[in-house]
């Protein structure tokens, strides 16, 4: 190997070392060095105050559990982290109220139900007052989780509603047939390949899947009826899948007030007894071991974006119930 190749190799090794040190430095800057494992939520003060504490939790993005997220994957909704945030706020004796800032088109039925249960637990077991502040969109699953809140505040231009359940799949059987592609399927029962993209759906299969959708929709209606104090007939009349502006939602009894996040903070402060409340949000940081593990995976493992894409493709091949507004 001549000197030019040795020089090039040395440059590559040097860049790799610099990159590793930089990544570690960024990670350590976000760590609570008193804790060496697990995950922590530091507090960022939005508004100082002395009357008590209000926590603002941000739910931004499609409500789906994609597993553990890397610190490098910014801007994506982390389901488990969000559930932990609600638990932290619920268990904090200094917290008087919780505001969930919702900006989502909805998502999975299971994940929405998990958030709903955490909100109910915060209210009933920890005696926390929970308000919802709707952002640009709080549709379908975004409304599902809002239903049990003590008060829902929407912007006049918020897109909300879309009350209902959807199940979708892609079918390319006809396309495959046009190109002479055939699929061999060996199954244990007539419905084992239900909703397969490789064949047309039968009436019996559609009836089976419709029963799942109807069951989840009945639960959606029950959640709204109990949370909003509305009779089921009224809920079903407004819950036909259509979307509403914040103003229309107010007229139909789906929200309580029109206003911004600041207005929601002011309303909650007044309802808690008045005065100036300290308002905080949570900053998520990873424990040392978790961070080192993810850094190693980032450096030597498969690209996380590719891994995420593979997971999405695999999950979308199977039937999935969703409280989701599809534009």
Any idea which residues carry the catalytic annotation?
140, 192
Please state at what angle helix 3-29 crosses helix 288-300, rounded to 10 degrees: 150
Beta strand 257-258 with 159-161 is unpaired
DSSP-based three-state secondary structure for 232: helix
Contacts for 113 with CB less than 8 Å, ≥ 6 apart: 144
Q: Which residues, other chains included, contact 275 with Cβ-Cβ below 8 Å and sequence gap of 6+? A: 49, 50, 51, 52, 269
C-alpha 159/C-alpha 190 separation (Å) is 41
State the Cα angle at 99 between 93 and 103, rounded to 5°: 145
Rounded to whole angstroms, how far apart are CA atoms 135 and 39?
27
């Amino acid at each position: 190997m001549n000197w030019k190749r040795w020089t090039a190799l040395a440059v590559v090794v040097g860049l790799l070392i610099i990159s590793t040190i930089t990544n570690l430095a960024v990670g350590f800057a976000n760590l609570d060095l008193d804790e060496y494992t697990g995950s922590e939520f530091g507090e960022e003060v939005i508004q100082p105050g002395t009357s008590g504490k209000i926590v603002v939790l941000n739910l931004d993005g499609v409500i789906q559990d994609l597993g553990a997220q890397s610190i490098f994957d910014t801007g994506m909704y982390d389901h488990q982290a969000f559930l932990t945030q609600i638990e932290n706020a619920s268990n904090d004796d200094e917290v008087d109220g919780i505001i969930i800032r919702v900006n989502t088109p909805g998502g999975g039925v299971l994940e929405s139900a998990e958030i709903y249960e955490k909100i109910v637990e915060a209210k009933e077991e920890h005696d926390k007052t929970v308000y919802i502040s709707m952002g640009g969109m709080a549709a379908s699953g975004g409304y599902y989780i809002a239903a049990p809140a003590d008060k829902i505040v929407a912007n006049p231009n918020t897109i909300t509603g879309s009350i209902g359940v959807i199940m979708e799949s892609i079918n390319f059987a006809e396309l495959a047939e046009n190109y002479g592609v055939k699929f061999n399927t060996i199954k244990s029962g007539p419905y084992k390949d239900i909703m397969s993209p490789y064949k047309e759906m039968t009436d019996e299969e559609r009836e089976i899947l419709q029963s799942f959708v109807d069951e989840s929709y009945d639960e959606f209606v029950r959640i709204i009826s109990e949370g909003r104090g509305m009779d089921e007939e009224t809920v079903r009349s407004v819950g036909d899948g259509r979307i509403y502006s914040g103003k229309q939602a107010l007229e139909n009894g789906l929200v309580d007030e029109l206003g911004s996040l600041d207005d929601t903070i002011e309303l909650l402060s007044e309802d808690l007894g008045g005065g100036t409340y300290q308002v905080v949000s949570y900053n998520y940081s990873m424990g040392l071991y978790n961070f080192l593990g993810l850094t190693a995976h980032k450096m030597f493992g498969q690209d996380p974006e590719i891994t995420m894409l593979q997971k999405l493709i695999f999950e979308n091949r199977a039937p999935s119930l969703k409280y989701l507004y599809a534009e």
